[in-house]
């Protein structure tokens, strides 16, 4: 399902929304395709229920799909929508200098479109913010379930992070901009794929350039753009943050006729990012290698151990130091780091918030946790047993039979799927004549990996990071987010990173905190810009 909620239906994040109440529409033509028309909006009204259960009436201006490049490959996807509040709970607001939440709805590296959106939150991915599918054609359901149940028994649509964030941001007085982007399944009449890597990140960069080039015309502070995305959308959000103004994208942006402006963003929000793809198989086996599949079957342990060795080499080469003075992160101590830095604090926070009775019930059902002095402690091995079945086979991302969604993400021309690691290519089972990765893969991997830009100490990167992941999310490795956090922190960036206890893929259980964080890092006082 897409990330937009229907009228009157509760959406992820603890709020509901009412039907639109349309007002007067305004429109005017522009001779320049990349000049935003501030008068071409429709006036809408929405009721947003915040996470405390309070209703807020928001009147906002809505701009329907605007193509953000001069020479689009497919305007159905290379367009964005804009929502800007003008009145909240009866009080007029001026959002001209408010933060801009740039919320993408990409899931599974699939195409996302806002072409038919008629309200805020109206964008959607073919897979609704879920994890990459095992069906490169996009014809089947994602390998990750379309929804995940959180610790309170509520069901959150994957991709819900951006949906809840969008509406809460609007009710907080922020401008919300939702960009579409090309995705891996798009084919032209000649059977050529035109949405595979690096199309999605190039599109999001072009959207940022469009926004920044329209300073003074488009509502909001273009110097305070905060990106948000979930799963593959979280990967793209983190990549957008890490790669600001990197020259390696220039030729792609020029081909599209992107605006001549910066594509740097101010802050990054990323939920369960599926990224660092060329090292994702090793990271996954380090994390979940001993966990059986839901069928009870163990994955090939020879493959698992070989991939774990690759992870050990990669992690050592990164030379990253853990947060809070932990020391250099290696395959030997990463389990200890995850337990101490993230997992025990996550469990502690969860248990402390329960009533005495509920806590006792939970601890009785989960005896691997020692609860003493208001703190939860446990071992890595017991944590893995607690999580249970792993979601993916081995290799999880560069499948030997080219069946993973990521194989399709690196497809090219009329080739549906390709290997992007030497290990995957060497062990190919599809009968390829050459068991080597194609010559263009190395460049595409750099274009798609935020870790590449951290290693380059990219000066145009985002300096503020909000990163979230569920502890039961075996769509990816827990190390992926932790490495992003460690890399950003090592460069002096502000990092707010935690894991949600017992949550699965796509969860966002603290959306109000994210909205407050945006105000803090951007220096925006809630509704400070009340209209005079």
What is the predicted pLDDT for the residue at 203?
A: 98
The predicted pLDDT at position 141 comes to: 26
Other residues' Cβ atoms within 10 Å of the Cβ of residue 459: 10
DSSP notation for 131-145: PPPS-TTS-S--SS-
Q: Distance between CA 169 and CA 163 in Å, rounded?
A: 10
Q: Six-digit token pair at 48?
A: 């947003």
| For residue 395, cis peptide bond before it (omega within 30 degrees of 0) | yes
Closest CA to 205 of 194, 217, 213, 193: 213
What is the reported pLDDT for 442?
98
What is the structure's pLDDT at 4?
Answer: 28
- Cα separation, 76 vs 145, whole angstroms: 27
**What's the pLDDT at 72?**
97
Binning pLDDT at 50, 70 and 90, where does residue 12 land? very low
* Better pLDDT: 117 or 20: 117
Angle at 23 between CA 21 and CA 24, to 5 degrees: 160
Domains of the chain: 42-117+147-272+461-522 (3.40.50.1820)
Average pLDDT of every residue of the chain: 88
Q: 253-278, pLDDT tens digit by residue?
A: 999 999 999 999 999 999 999 999 99
Residue 28 in this model has a pLDDT that exceeds 80: no
Q: Which two tokens stand for residue 177?
A: 């901009």
Query: Can you tell me the mean pLDDT for 50-68?
Result: 95
pLDDT value of position 525:
77
Quote the pLDDT of residue 1: 25
pTM to 2 decimals? 0.89
pLDDT in tens, 304-334: 999 999 999 999 999 999 999 999 999 999 9
Tokens of 275: 């990224």
Are residues 242 and 260 in contact, defined by beta-carbon separation less than 8 angstroms? no
The per-residue pLDDT for range 119-155, each reduced to its tens digit, is: 998 877 654 443 333 333 332 222 222 223 222 222 2
Among the residue ranges 14-28, 424-438, 506-520, the one predicted with the least confidence is: 14-28
Residue 527, pLDDT > 70, answer: no
Long-range contacts of 381-385 (CB under 8 A, 24+ apart): 383/339, 383/343, 383/471, 384/288, 384/290, 384/291
């Amino acid at each position: 399902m897409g990330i937009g909620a229907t009228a009157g239906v509760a959406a992820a994040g603890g709020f509901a929304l009412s039907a639109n109440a349309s007002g007067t529409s305004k429109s005017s033509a522009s001779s320049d395709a990349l000049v935003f028309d501030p008068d071409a909006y429709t006036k809408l009204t929405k009721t947003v229920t915040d996470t405390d259960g309070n209703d807020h009436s928001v009147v906002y201006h809505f701009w329907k799909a605007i193509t953000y490049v001069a020479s689009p490959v497919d305007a159905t996807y290379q367009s964005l929508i804009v929502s800007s509040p003008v009145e909240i709970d009866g009080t007029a607001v001026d959002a001209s200098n408010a933060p801009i939440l740039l919320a993408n709805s990409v899931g599974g590296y699939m195409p996302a479109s806002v072409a038919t959106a008629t309200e805020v939150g109206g964008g959607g991915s073919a897979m609704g913010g879920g994890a990459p599918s095992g069906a490169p054609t996009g014809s089947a359901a994602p390998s990750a379930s379309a929804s995940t149940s959180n610790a309170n028994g509520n069901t959150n649509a994957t991709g819900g992070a951006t949906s809840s964030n969008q509406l809460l941001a609007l009710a907080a007085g922020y401008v919300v901009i939702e960009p579409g982007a090309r995705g891996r399944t798009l084919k032209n009449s000649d059977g050529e794929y035109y949405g595979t890597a690096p199309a999605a990140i190039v599109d999001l960069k072009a959207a940022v350039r469009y926004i920044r080039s329209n300073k003074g015309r488009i509502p909001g502070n273009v110097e305070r753009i905060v990106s948000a995305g979930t799963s593959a959308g979280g990967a793209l959000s983190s990549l957008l943050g890490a790669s600001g103004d990197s020259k390696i994208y220039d030729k792609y942006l020029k081909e599209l006729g992107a605006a001549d402006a910066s594509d740097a963003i101010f802050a990054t929000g990323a939920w369960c990012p599926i990224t660092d793809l060329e090292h994702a198989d090793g990271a996954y086996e380090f994390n979940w290698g001993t966990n059986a599949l839901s069928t009870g079957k163990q994955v090939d342990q020879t493959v698992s151990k070989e991939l774990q060795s690759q992870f050990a080499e990669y992690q050592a080469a990164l030379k990253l130091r853990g947060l809070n003075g932990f020391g250099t992160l290696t395959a030997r101590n990463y389990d200890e780091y995850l337990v101490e830095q993230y997992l025990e604090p996550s469990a502690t926070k969860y248990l402390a918030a329960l009533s005495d009775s509920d806590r006792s019930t939970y601890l009785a059902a989960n005896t691997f946790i020692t609860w003493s002095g208001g703190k939860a402690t446990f071992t890595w091995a017991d944590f893995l047993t607690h999580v249970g079945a792993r979601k993916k086979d081995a290799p999880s991302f560069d499948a030997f039979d080219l069946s993973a969604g990521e194989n399709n993400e690196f497809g090219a021309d009329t080739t549906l799927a390709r290997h992007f690691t030497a290990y995957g290519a060497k062990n190919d089972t599809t009968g390829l004549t050459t068991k080597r990765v194609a010559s263009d893969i190395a460049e595409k991997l750099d274009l798609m990996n935020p870790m590449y830009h951290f290693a380059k100490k990219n000066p145009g990167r985002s300096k503020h990071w909000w990163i979230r992941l569920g502890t039961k999310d075996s769509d990816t490795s827990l190390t992926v987010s932790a490495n992003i956090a460690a890399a950003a922190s090592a460069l002096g960036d502000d990092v707010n990173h935690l894991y949600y206890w017992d949550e699965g893929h796509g969860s966002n259980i603290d959306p109000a905190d994210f909205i407050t964080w945006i105000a803090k890092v951007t220096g925006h006082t809630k509704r400070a810009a009340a209209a005079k």
